[in-house]
Amino acid sequence: MANQPTERTVPPWLYKLFTGHQYPYVRRQAKFANREIKPGEERPEPTREAIDAKFWEIFPRCWVKVLQEVKTGMIVSFVELGTYEPGQYQELVDNPEEFLARTYGKKKIKVNFYDGENFVCTINFKVAGWTEHG
């Protein structure tokens, strides 16, 4: 079983979003997965392999919330447009701009990923040439 090739892939934008330093959820899960640390010891930074393993553990169970950014004067608020359960948003992952434009139209959209109730990461899209300011 350990010798089976893993052909799992995701677009580079998604992998970087989940594993980069901007959103530490996956990295922290990998860092604190090692339980062999004695109290008071500094935990080492996770290896690329540990981060990859945590990514493939966490990403498949993530759900998505799609929000529209609405700016009124100096105030920015968000209106929920939809949610997608784990495994139900492959088209969003593969072609986010096309999917969001076709599904929600020309808007400034925020896509949030959650692991259960835990926020994982977010990404913003200016969909279909969105150019409105103000």
Kindly report, residue by residue over 12-39, the tens digit of the pLDDT: 999 999 999 899 999 999 988 866 777 7
Residue 35 is predicted with a pLDDT of 67
C-alpha 87/C-alpha 128 separation (Å) is 25
The answer to whether residue 5 sits within a structural domain is: no
The reply to whether 72 and 110 lie within a common domain is yes
Domain check: are 19 and 42 in the same one? Answer: yes
22 domain residue, yes or no: yes
Chain segment 87-109, per-residue pLDDT in tens: 999 999 999 999 999 999 989 99
Give buried/exposed letters for 15-35 (b at 16+ CB in 10 A, else e).
bebbbeeebebbbebbbeeee
Tens-digit pLDDT profile for residues 27-80: 999 988 866 777 777 878 899 999 999 999 999 999 999 999 998 899 999 999
CA 69, 72, 76, 81 dihedral sign is negative
Q: 2 lies in a domain? A: no
CB-based contact 23:48 (threshold 8 Å) = no
Do residue 55 and residue 82 come from a single domain?
no
> What element of type H or E holds 114?
strand 108-115
Q: Are residues 76 and 116 in the same domain?
A: yes
Identify whether residues 77 and 123 lie together within a single domain. Answer: yes
- Cα–Cα distance, 123 to 50 (Å, whole number): 24
Give a yes or no: residue 94 inside a domain: yes
Judgement on whether residues 73 and 115 belong to the same structural domain of the protein? yes
Q: Are residues 16 and 47 in the same domain?
A: yes
CA 106 from centroid of its chain's CA atoms: 22
Whether residue 69 is found in the same domain as residue 18: no
The torsion defined by the Cα of 19, 109, 90 and 48, in degrees rounded to 10, comes to 0
Domain count, the chain: 2
125: containing domain: 62-129
